[in-house]
């Protein structure tokens, strides 16, 4: 068959094989194995993409290590806040010296930050030691791009503005054998006014339900018991499919898969969280008792400027409905402090929601101006000292409430999925409850990947110490 007649996945396997031969040749010449490292910044979507990058590197023949002095180092970047970008530049500066010692090494960059033209210009000008740059839409081409870098012997850049392509069936290497993320959709159409994601991740695209179910069935056959369904806004899953299917309907189908024990998902947008979904969550016992429901702000006026399309009151009503349907549910959130025009009164509205909802945990962020987003040019940007003061007050409130909320399970018996042997005390294992709360208890590595009933004997702020209950 000619290469033009292959499917995209087959083409990529062809390049994987070509690169594999090159790696084998290099290893022979050097008399040692070639190593590679994937360094991940940002969210769960990036973590999942990094598993795909790792899978391809392994198939090519690289030995994965945890060190930035590897023969191939790739940074999977995030650009949601400015400080994420600064960290990448810092690391790249340091890599100049590392590459001086190993001039044949490859340094690659991918992920959201690469979708910003100014970033790529800066890299071309001031970071000439970078070998390969690609973006969020063509990560499936990783092997082909490595092949090009090997043969062209100069910096390779391949950034796509957008895509409607979803390439299935490429290799990937799961970080944990018993749990994994599963992409159900890509991109975002919401254009919250502070957020750069819709510009760097492109328009919303849902995967076909059959492809999702097939992938989950195959990972379950391979030992996975918990999946995290991933998308920027999972609640709008399926709206643009030729045969539309709601997220709630997809969840029901996933819960029917034998051998799968737990289902999580993220992220939910409050504006799209339907009654149908709440009902499915209440009925399906495999769905974990945890919902991440980003608030961003408690002020209806600020929410409007953020283009979030819900109000303080409708958000609180949603939380009430959820709690009525799933009484024990853990709710977590994201909050931004210092959005342009935020007054002390607006901030107090946020504090009010925090006190009313009583989150299990909240990720709190200082607003970061992202060039190209509508909020970047809004008037009344809030002075840094005011923002810092609000941020500290919010953090304290969130932490005090979280410690109190977390203790509600004390004395009860809960199912814990064991994830690892405890790093500090090898007599203990560490796992997570359905609500995502961490539990440590006596056990050994044979329990990893198993669900164990555990009596929660004492709560230490955000986690529990427990005792396994004999079944
Ligand atoms: N500044 C600060 N936080 C932001 N987030 C998204 N964009 C920005 C920004 N410009 C936060 C939101 C989102 C989380 C992933 O990151 O809270 O939910
Ligand atoms: Fe950004 Fe809003 Fe889309 Fe989330 S829903 S990725 S905050 S634009």
Q: What is the pLDDT of residue 76?
A: 98
Atom of ligand 2 nearest to the CA of 233: 5
SS3 of residue 363 by DSSP:
strand
Distance 357 CA to ligand 2 centre (A): 21
Best residue for ligand 1 mutational test, from 47, 268, 334 (most atoms within 8 Å of Cβ): 334
Strands (DSSP E) along 192-345, which ranges? Answer: 205-206, 226-230, 262-266, 290-292, 330-337
| DSSP count for the chain of H helices, then E strands | 13, 19
Whether residue 212 contacts residue 219, with contact meaning beta carbons closer than 8 Å, is answered with no
Atom of ligand 2 nearest to the CA of 308: 2
SS3 of residue 413 by DSSP:
strand
Tens digits of per-residue pLDDT, 302-330? 999 999 999 999 999 999 999 999 999 99
Q: How far is CA 140 from CA 13, 38, 135, 199, 315, in A?
A: 10, 15, 10, 19, 38
Sheet holding 361-366: strands in order across?
A: 290-292, 330-337, 361-366
Question: Whose CA is closest to 214, among 180, 168, 173, 171?
Answer: 168
DSSP summary character for residue 259: T
* 456: CB partners within 8 A, 6+ apart: 409, 410, 411, 412, 413, 414, 439, 464, 465, 466
Ligand 1 near 80 CB (within 6 A): yes
Whether residue 321 contacts residue 331, with contact meaning beta carbons closer than 8 Å, is answered with no
Q: How far is CA 307 from CA 194, 299, 438, in A?
A: 9, 12, 34
Atom of ligand 1 nearest to the CA of 370: 10
Determine which residue's CA is closest to atom 4 belonging to ligand 2.
232
Distance 328 CA to ligand 2 centre (A): 27
Q: How far is CA 322 from CA 237, 264, 277, 407, in A?
A: 20, 16, 10, 20
Tens digits of per-residue pLDDT, 15-73? 999 999 999 999 999 999 999 999 999 999 999 999 999 999 999 999 999 999 999 99
Best residue for ligand 2 mutational test, from 192, 199, 266, 367 (most atoms within 8 Å of Cβ): 192
Tens digits of per-residue pLDDT, 346-391? 999 999 999 999 999 999 999 999 999 999 999 999 999 999 999 9
Atom of ligand 1 nearest to the CA of 267: 18
Q: How far apart are CA 380 and CA 342, in angstroms?
A: 8
Q: How far apart are CA 152 and CA 133, in angstroms?
A: 14
Q: How far apart are CA 372 and CA 367, in angstroms?
A: 15
Distance 244 CA to ligand 2 centre (A): 22
Ligand 1 near 336 CB (within 6 A): yes
Please give the chain's pLDDT, 471 residues, in tens: 677 788 999 999 999 999 999 999 999 999 999 999 999 999 999 999 999 999 999 999 999 999 999 999 999 999 999 999 999 999 999 999 999 999 999 999 999 999 999 999 999 999 999 999 999 999 999 999 999 999 998 999 999 998 888 888 888 888 899 999 999 999 999 999 999 999 999 999 999 999 999 999 999 999 999 999 999 999 999 998 999 999 999 999 999 999 999 999 999 999 999 999 999 999 999 999 999 999 999 999 999 999 999 999 999 999 999 999 999 999 999 999 999 999 999 999 999 999 999 999 999 999 999 999 999 999 999 999 999 999 999 999 999 999 999 999 999 999 999 999 999 999 999 999 999 999 999 999 999 999 999 999 999 989 999 999 976
Question: Which value, to the nearest 10 degrees, does the dihedral of the CA atoms of residues 149, 154, 155, 160 take?
Answer: -60
Q: What is the pLDDT of residue 471?
A: 64
Q: How far is CA 321 from CA 201, 326, 357, 361, in A?
A: 32, 9, 12, 19
Position of tokens 């007050």?
393
Ligand 1 near 370 CB (within 6 A): yes
Distance 192 CA to ligand 2 centre (A): 6
Q: What is the pLDDT of residue 6?
A: 86
Q: What is the pLDDT of residue 118?
A: 95
Q: How far apart are CA 115 and CA 109, in angstroms?
A: 11
Q: How far apart are CA 467 and CA 81, in angstroms?
A: 41
């Amino acid at each position: 068959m000619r290469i033009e007649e292959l499917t995209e996945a087959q083409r990529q396997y062809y390049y994987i094989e070509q690169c594999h031969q090159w790696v084998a040749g290099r290893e022979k010449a050097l008399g040692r194995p070639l190593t590679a490292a994937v360094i991940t910044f940002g969210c769960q979507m990036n973590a999942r993409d990094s598993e795909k990058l790792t899978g391809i590197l392994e198939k090519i023949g690289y030995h994965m290590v945890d060190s930035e002095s590897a023969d191939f180092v790739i940074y999977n970047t995030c650009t949601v806040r400015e400080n994420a970008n600064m960290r990448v530049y810092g690391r790249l500066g340091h890599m100049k010296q590392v590459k001086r010692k190993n001039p044949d090494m490859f340094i690659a960059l991918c992920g959201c930050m690469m979708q910003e033209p100014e970033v790529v210009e800066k890299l071309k000008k001031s970071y000439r030691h970078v070998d390969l740059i690609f973006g969020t839409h063509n990560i499936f081409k990783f092997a082909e791009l490595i092949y090009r870098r090997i043969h062209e012997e100069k910096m390779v850049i391949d950034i796509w503005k957008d895509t409607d392509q979803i390439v299935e069936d490429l290799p990937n290497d799961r970080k944990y054998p018993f749990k994994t993320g599963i992409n159900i959709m890509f991109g975002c159409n919401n254009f919250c006014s502070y957020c750069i994601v819709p510009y760097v991740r492109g328009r919303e695209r849902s995967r076909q339900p059959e492809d999702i179910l097939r992938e989950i069935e195959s990972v379950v056959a391979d030992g996975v018991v918990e999946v995290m369904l991933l998308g920027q806004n999972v609640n709008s899953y399926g709206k643009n499919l030729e045969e539309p299917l709601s997220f709630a309907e997809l969840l029901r189908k996933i819960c029917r898969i034998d051998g799968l024990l737990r289902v999580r998902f993220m992220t939910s947008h409050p504006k799209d969280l339907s009654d149908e979904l709440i009902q499915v969550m209440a009925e399906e016992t495999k769905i974990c008792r945890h919902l991440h429901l980003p608030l961003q702000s408690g002020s209806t006026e600020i929410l409007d400027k953020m283009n979030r399309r819900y109000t303080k009151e409708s958000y609180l009503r949603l939380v009430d409905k959820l709690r009525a349907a799933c009484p024990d549910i853990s709710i977590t959130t994201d909050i931004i402090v210092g959005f342009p025009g935020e007054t002390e009164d607006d901030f107090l509205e946020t504090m009010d929601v925090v006190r009313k909802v009583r989150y299990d945990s909240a990720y709190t962020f200082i607003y970061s101006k992202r060039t190209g987003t509508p909020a970047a040019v809004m008037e009344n940007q809030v002075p840094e000292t005011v923002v810092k003061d609000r941020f500290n007050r919010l953090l304290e409130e969130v932490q005090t409430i979280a410690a109190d909320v977390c203790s509600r399970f004390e004395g009860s018996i809960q199912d814990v999925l064991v994830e690892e042997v405890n790093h500090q005390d090898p007599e203990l294992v560490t796992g997570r409850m359905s609500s995502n709360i961490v539990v440590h208890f006596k056990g050994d590595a044979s329990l990893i990947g198993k669900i164990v009933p555990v009596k929660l004997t004492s709560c230490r702020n955000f986690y529990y110490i427990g005792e396994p209950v004999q079944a």
